[in-house]
């Protein structure tokens, strides 16, 4: 690799150079000027000279020259730069500026010299703006060796702004450069609200509430914030994730004296930063902190915060606020905006948000910058990032959904996390004992069936027993259809394979029962017990995890708690086969979830909302006819009656369930052929319907999802995209309607002063905790809103089918009783 500096030989005497023509003299003079500016700046002129006259006679301008220069200094030793009076300098050829020479007529050598001189100086001006002098450049000692492509060392340590418009082009076609900000130039002062005087606090409140927009962030005990990951400063993750304060950035009042600055330094100087500690118990400050922050959240200012739900949850828990107080809080969250724009690959951190916008790492790790500098730097950029996201949301017609649905849902989700749900631990322990006892019986029977002990949870050992020892695959009639693993193409031990083999030997059926029992115990008993704190289960609610717009819960996933009861037989299979008596115990996984004293659970469930939306979008006459009426008829019974051509009263329960499975399998796994059969159209028309999505689809409230593989030549990718395209419209629209129901019901409950609290959202079902004396009132409010398609669709869309809601009440989640 070429070096910045190499030991140089004395340059040849320019007087000894034989110039072949006046034009060559001009080119050589410009060539020498470019050489002194930058090592690689002479290539253009050297090629021009070589093309016209051959190799340059001057060794110092050849491609193998050793007198190479640095970006900002000449690397030739000082004694070689001095020349005698008789030795003209390399400037001798350009004593007169070409533009001052009256002989510069078109086509003349002087005119050519003028053009070359202009080009060289234009390039030089550009290079000078990017050049940083190296310390000690005036020394007689040569600089240390350095790679040509390394950045020049600056006089002061610098850090780059974390947001770079990479790839943007200036008017001249040059890539836009972001100026490095010197740490010493930025005065990053964060004032502590607890140490401010009374007058300073009042002035801060006035400035804050009068600001048009503010940015906010939680600060944690380990020195990090919501905008910086702990690893930025070498701090271990989750070392102390407890919030200890809230930092607010808002504009300074206009003043006469403004220090000259630009870029991010200017933006930071235009802001003032105040830290509100949350761990102080001083009465006066605690009152001031609560009142100031609640007034700010209720003001008309635009409040920008990454992961606003966490900030609101912190304020609710610290200040003991109720839903009526926080319901009208409105914030804008870049994380949620990024999810709406790219639901399949949503950003989770501030760095990922910026990386999504500029396709480059958003935050440079500045190990030498203090925490205040980093926090001020990030807060100053939050508003700019949100403005860019707002424009993109508007371009994609997503701004209304973002502001009126997703962001209004944020305080409701924070309130759900705060309240949690009460759990009876003793009930879970009893369920665990019953499951443990039954698991032991199943294991004993499995060992006898296999002829020896083995680990039932091991797929490797189970594969050996089933296929190598018992050879069940050879006895299976459809052995060719037995599934195989995607890795190594091994014989699978999945549920579908065990179902095919259970008629050939007792072991597959025992394994199926073992897996069901073990899942129940490990996930819904032991897993729940590990998450209970002070008698409550507090799950995390996230509305940016699912591409369809559905809400998800985690730690634990309370949405996955099964509704159907599990029948436990308290005898072994051998005793049962011999006609012995057996006891059956029914376990309900939702039974341990109980309402608080004096309250009851009230569940409002949309009846077949996704199926109704399918009828709305498809406009199928048969489906529309099924859903018309007063809603007292069972949709699946009516549909089974039409398909089987029998009276509704003759439809059996098994036939209804089969019809329901068929309907939802069509909705969630449909391809062109199945869709053609279902809609009674040709396969070509069905395929055209799917292709008409134009690689992106929208829900009823214009939520969108890109489907890039809908026209892929790969059959697997295309089939998957086709299923996504059909499923997203129905499932995403159902999610939109359920979210609007949460917002509208919460608003009505808050306005009426009712004590009902939303605890659980199950995609198409809402579970409230209601005071016993308010059950009837809350029931009427909830049902009126959830059955009004005008309210839930914003009056913009008229559904082709009515929405129906069923209400149930109970003291435990597993013991709900229908009211109608």
Which one-letter DSSP state was computed for residue 465?
A: I
pLDDT band at 193 (very low <50, low <70, confident <90, very high): very high
In angstroms, the Cα distances linking 75 to 141, 409, 562 are 9, 64, 77
Cα 191 from chain centre: 32
Which one-letter DSSP state was computed for residue 181?
A: E
- The whole domain housing 623 covers 601-632+694-818
**Higher-confidence position of 671 and 656:** 656
The answer on pLDDT for 235 being more than 80 is no
**Higher-confidence position of 352 and 56:** 352
Count CB-CB contacts under 10 A for residue 335. Answer: 21
Beta-strand relationship, 765-771 and 599-606: antiparallel
Q: Which helix (H) or strand (E) holds 757?
A: strand 757-761
Residues 6+ apart with CB under 8 A from 332: 302, 303, 304, 305, 308, 386, 390, 403, 407
Percent of the chain with pLDDT over 70: 66
Give me the mean pLDDT over the 543-547 stretch.
Answer: 90
- From the list 671, 735, 743, the residue with the least C-alpha distance to 702 is 735
The answer on pLDDT for 590 being more than 90 is yes
What pLDDT is attached to residue 403? 95
Distance between CA atoms of 373 and 368, rounded to whole angstroms? 10
pLDDT band at 74 (very low <50, low <70, confident <90, very high): very low
Q: Which helix (H) or strand (E) holds 159?
A: strand 158-159
What pLDDT is attached to residue 476? 83
Distance between CA atoms of 442 and 459, rounded to whole angstroms? 17
Cis, bond preceding 556 (omega within 30 deg of 0): yes
Please count the CA atoms within 13 angstroms of the CA of 790 that sit on its side-chain side. 1
What pLDDT is attached to residue 216? 96
Query: Residues 263, 401: one domain?
Result: yes
- From the list 481, 479, 485, the residue with the least C-alpha distance to 462 is 485
In angstroms, the Cα distances linking 539 to 232, 347, 458, 534 are 28, 21, 31, 14
Distance between CA atoms of 250 and 272, rounded to whole angstroms? 6
What pLDDT is attached to residue 164? 34
Asked if the structure places residue 687 within a domain, the reply is: no
pLDDT band at 162 (very low <50, low <70, confident <90, very high): very low
Query: Residues 335, 447: one domain?
Result: no
The answer on pLDDT for 582 being more than 70 is no
Asked if the structure places residue 67 within a domain, the reply is: yes
- From the list 556, 550, 323, the residue with the least C-alpha distance to 419 is 323
Query: Residues 192, 115: one domain?
Result: no
Query: Residues 700, 765: one domain?
Result: yes
Distance between CA atoms of 357 and 352, rounded to whole angstroms? 9
Query: Residues 465, 532: one domain?
Result: yes
DSSP for 232-275, please give it.
GGTPPTTS---EEEEEEEEEPPP-S------HHHHHHHTEEEEE
Asked if the structure places residue 639 within a domain, the reply is: no
DSSP for 425-458, please give it.
HHHHHHHHHHHHHHHHHHHHHHHHHHTS---TT-
Query: Residues 392, 471: one domain?
Result: no
In angstroms, the Cα distances linking 308 to 214, 246, 303 are 13, 12, 9
Query: Residues 568, 516: one domain?
Result: yes
Query: Residues 562, 701: one domain?
Result: no
Distance between CA atoms of 353 and 338, rounded to whole angstroms? 7
Residues 6+ apart with CB under 8 A from 379: 215, 216, 217, 227, 247, 249, 271, 273
Give me the mean pLDDT over the 613-633 stretch.
Answer: 74
Residues 6+ apart with CB under 8 A from 433: none
Asked if the structure places residue 154 within a domain, the reply is: no
Please count the CA atoms within 13 angstroms of the CA of 336 that sit on its side-chain side. 27
Query: Residues 747, 708: one domain?
Result: yes
- From the list 624, 621, 610, 626, the residue with the least C-alpha distance to 670 is 610
Q: What CATH number is associated with residue 781?
A: 3.30.70
End residue of a domain, out of 562, 592, 622? 592
Count CB-CB contacts under 10 A for residue 252. Answer: 11
Asked if the structure places residue 164 within a domain, the reply is: no
- From the list 728, 781, 735, 792, the residue with the least C-alpha distance to 761 is 735
Count CB-CB contacts under 10 A for residue 480. Answer: 6
Percent of the chain with pLDDT over 90: 39
What pLDDT is attached to residue 761? 95
User: Helices (H) and strands (E) in the chain — how many of each?
Assistant: 30, 22
DSSP for 792-812, please give it.
HTTTT---SS---EEEEEESB
The answer on pLDDT for 398 being more than 90 is yes
Count CB-CB contacts under 10 A for residue 257. Answer: 4
Distance between CA atoms of 781 and 405, rounded to whole angstroms? 20
**Higher-confidence position of 800 and 203:** 203
How confident is the model over 206-229, as pLDDT tens digits?
Answer: 999 999 899 999 999 887 899 886
How confident is the model over 718-749, as pLDDT tens digits?
Answer: 777 777 777 888 888 899 999 999 999 999 99
* Secondary structure of residue 704 in the 3-state scheme: strand
CB 406 within 8 A of CB 340: yes
Q: What residues form DSSP beta bridges with 216?
A: 248, 305
Which one-letter DSSP state was computed for residue 141?
A: S
Distance between CA atoms of 616 and 497, rounded to whole angstroms? 38
How confident is the model over 426-456, as pLDDT tens digits?
Answer: 999 999 999 999 999 999 999 999 999 999 9
In angstroms, the Cα distances linking 667 to 421, 443, 660 are 33, 38, 11
Cα 490 from chain centre: 36
The answer on pLDDT for 183 being more than 60 is no
Torsion (CA) 746, 752, 755, 758 in degrees, nearest 10: -10
Backbone angles phi, psi at 631, to 5 degrees: 85, 10
Give me the mean pLDDT over the 137-153 stretch.
Answer: 35
* Secondary structure of residue 360 in the 3-state scheme: coil
What pLDDT is attached to residue 698? 82
Q: Is 313 left (phi over 0), alpha (psi -120 to 50) or beta?
A: alpha
**Higher-confidence position of 261 and 589:** 589
Label each residue of 381-408 as H, E or C.
HHHHHHHHHHHHHHHCCCHHHHHHHHHH
Q: How many domains does the chain have?
A: 4
Distance between CA atoms of 243 and 246, rounded to whole angstroms? 8
The answer on pLDDT for 329 being more than 80 is yes
Asked if the structure places residue 343 within a domain, the reply is: yes
Q: What residues form DSSP beta bridges with 584?
A: 569
End residue of a domain, out of 592, 616, 651? 592
CB burial readout 643-678, b (16+ within 10 A) else e: eeeeeeeebeeebbeebbeebeebbeebbbebbbeb
Hey, which of 66-70, 480-484, 529-533 has the most confident mean pLDDT?
A: 529-533
Query: Residues 21, 64: one domain?
Result: yes
Hey, which of 259-273, 519-533, 695-709 has the most confident mean pLDDT?
A: 519-533
pLDDT band at 54 (very low <50, low <70, confident <90, very high): low
**Higher-confidence position of 241 and 513:** 513
Distance between CA atoms of 735 and 549, rounded to whole angstroms? 6
Distance between CA atoms of 611 and 606, rounded to whole angstroms? 11
pLDDT band at 587 (very low <50, low <70, confident <90, very high): very high
**Higher-confidence position of 488 and 514:** 514
Distance between CA atoms of 158 and 182, rounded to whole angstroms? 5
Distance between CA atoms of 147 and 70, rounded to whole angstroms? 11
Q: What CATH number is associated with residue 483?
A: 1.20.1060.10
Handedness of CA 662, 666, 668, 674 (dihedral sign): positive
CB 27 within 8 A of CB 49: yes
Asked if the structure places residue 679 within a domain, the reply is: no
Query: Residues 452, 530: one domain?
Result: yes
**What is the rounded average pLDDT for all residues in the chain?**
75
What pLDDT is attached to residue 246? 96
Asked if the structure places residue 800 within a domain, the reply is: yes
Residues 6+ apart with CB under 8 A from 53: 20, 21, 24, 27
Q: What residues form DSSP beta bridges with 219?
A: 225, 245
DSSP for 9-33, please give it.
PPPPPGGG-----HHHHHHHHHHHH
Distance between CA atoms of 304 and 812, rounded to whole angstroms? 39
Query: Residues 222, 360: one domain?
Result: yes
The answer on pLDDT for 95 being more than 50 is no
Q: What residues form DSSP beta bridges with 124?
A: none
The answer on pLDDT for 103 being more than 90 is no
Distance between CA atoms of 71 and 127, rounded to whole angstroms? 9
What pLDDT is attached to residue 26? 60
End residue of a domain, out of 375, 402, 418? 418
List the strands of the sheet with 271-277, edge to edge: 190-192, 271-277, 243-251, 213-220, 302-305
Give me the mean pLDDT over the 667-689 stretch.
Answer: 60
CB 675 within 8 A of CB 655: no
- From the list 185, 165, 414, 204, the residue with the least C-alpha distance to 289 is 204
Give me the mean pLDDT over the 83-101 stretch.
Answer: 40
Q: What is the pTM of this model?
A: 0.71
The answer on pLDDT for 365 being more than 50 is no
């Amino acid at each position: 690799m070429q070096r910045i500096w190499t030991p140089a030989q004395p340059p040849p005497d320019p007087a000894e150079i034989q110039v072949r023509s006046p034009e060559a003299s001009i080119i050589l003079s410009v060539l020498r000027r470019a050489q002194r500016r930058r090592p690689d700046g002479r290539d253009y002129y050297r090629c021009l000279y070589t093309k016209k006259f051959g190799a340059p006679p001057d060794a110092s301008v050849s491609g193998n020259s050793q007198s190479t220069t640095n970006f900002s200094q000449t690397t030739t030793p000082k004694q070689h730069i001095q020349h005698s009076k008789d030795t003209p300098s390399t400037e001798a050829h350009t004593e007169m500026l070409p533009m001052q020479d009256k002989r510069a007529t078109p086509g003349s050598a002087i005119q050519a010299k003028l053009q070359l001189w202009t080009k060289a100086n234009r390039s030089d001006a550009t290079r000078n703006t990017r050049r940083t002098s190296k310390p000690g450049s005036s020394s007689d000692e040569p600089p240390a060796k350095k790679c040509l492509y390394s950045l020049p060392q600056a006089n002061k340590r610098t850090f780059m702004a974390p947001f770079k418009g990479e790839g943007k082009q200036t008017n001249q076609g040059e890539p836009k450069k972001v100026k490095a900000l010197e740490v010493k130039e930025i005065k990053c002062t964060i004032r502590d609200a607890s140490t401010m005087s009374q007058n300073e606090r009042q002035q801060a409140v006035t400035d804050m509430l009068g600001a048009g927009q503010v940015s906010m962030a939680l600060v944690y005990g380990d020195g990090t914030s919501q905008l910086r990951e702990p690893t930025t400063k070498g701090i271990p993750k989750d070392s102390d994730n407890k919030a200890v304060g809230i930092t607010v950035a808002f504009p300074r009042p206009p003043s006469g004296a403004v220090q000259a600055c630009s870029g991010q330094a200017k933006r930071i100087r235009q802001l003032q930063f105040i830290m509100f500690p949350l761990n102080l118990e001083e009465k006066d400050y605690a009152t001031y902190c609560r009142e100031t922050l609640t007034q700010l959240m209720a003001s008309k200012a635009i409040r920008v915060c990454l992961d606003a739900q966490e900030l609101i949850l912190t304020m609710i828990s610290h200040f003991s606020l109720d839903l009526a107080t926080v319901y009208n809080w409105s914030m804008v969250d870049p994380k949620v905006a990024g999810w709406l724009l790219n639901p399949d690959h949503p950003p989770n951190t501030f760095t990922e948000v910026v990386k999504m916008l500029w396709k480059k790492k958003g935050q440079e790790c500045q190990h030498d910058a203090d925490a205040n500098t980093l926090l001020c730097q990030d807060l100053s950029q939050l508003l700019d990032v949100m403005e860019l996201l707002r424009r993109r949301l508007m371009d994609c017609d997503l701004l209304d959904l973002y502001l009126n649905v997703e962001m209004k849902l944020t305080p409701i989700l924070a309130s759900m996390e705060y309240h949690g749900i009460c759990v009876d631990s003793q009930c879970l322990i009893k369920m665990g004992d019953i499951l443990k006892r039954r698991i032991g019986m199943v294991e004993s029977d499995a060992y006898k069936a296999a002829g020896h002990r083995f680990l039932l949870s091991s797929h490797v050992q189970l594969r050996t027993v089933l296929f190598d020892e018992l050879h069940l695959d050879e006895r299976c009639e459809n052995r060719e259809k037995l599934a195989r693993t995607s890795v190594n193409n091994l014989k699978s031990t999945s549920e579908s394979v065990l179902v095919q083999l259970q008629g050939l030997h007792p072991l597959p059926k025992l394994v199926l029962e073992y897996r069901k029992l073990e899942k129940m115990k490990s996930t819904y008993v032991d897993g729940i017990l590990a998450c209970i704190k002070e008698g409550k289960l507090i799950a995390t609610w996230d509305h940016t995890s699912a591409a369809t717009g559905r809400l998800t819960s985690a730690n634990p996933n309370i949405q996955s708690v099964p509704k159907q009861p599990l029948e436990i037989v308290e005898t072994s299979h051998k005793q049962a086969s011999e006609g012995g008596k057996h006891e059956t115990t029914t376990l309900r996984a939702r039974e341990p979830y109980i309402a608080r004293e004096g309250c009851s659970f009230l569940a409002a469930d949309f009846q077949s909302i996704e199926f109704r939306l399918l009828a709305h979008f498809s406009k199928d006459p048969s489906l529309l006819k099924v859903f018309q009426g007063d809603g007292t008829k069972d949709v699946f019974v009516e549909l089974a009656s039409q398909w089987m051509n029998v009276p509704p009263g003759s439809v059996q329960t098994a036939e209804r369930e089969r019809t329901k499975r068929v309907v939802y399998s069509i909705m969630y796994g449909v391809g062109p052929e199945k869709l053609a059969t279902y809609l009674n159209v040709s396969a070509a028309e069905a395929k055209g319907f799917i292709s008409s999505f134009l690689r992106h689809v929208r829900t009823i409230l214009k939520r969108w999802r890109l489907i890039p593989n809908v026209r892929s030549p790969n059959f697997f990718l295309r089939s998957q995209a086709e299923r996504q395209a059909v499923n997203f419209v129905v499932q995403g629209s159902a999610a939109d309607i359920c979210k609007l129901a949460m917002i509208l019901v919460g608003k009505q409950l808050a306005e009426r002063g009712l004590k009902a609290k939303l605890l659980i959202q199950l995609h198409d079902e809402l579970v409230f905790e209601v005071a016993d004396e308010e059950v009837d009132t809350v029931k009427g409010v909830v049902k009126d809103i959830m059955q009004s398609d005008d309210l839930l669709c914003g009056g913009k869309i008229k559904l082709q089918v009515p929405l129906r809601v069923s209400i149930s009440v109970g003291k435990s989640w597993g013991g709900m009783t229908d009211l109608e």
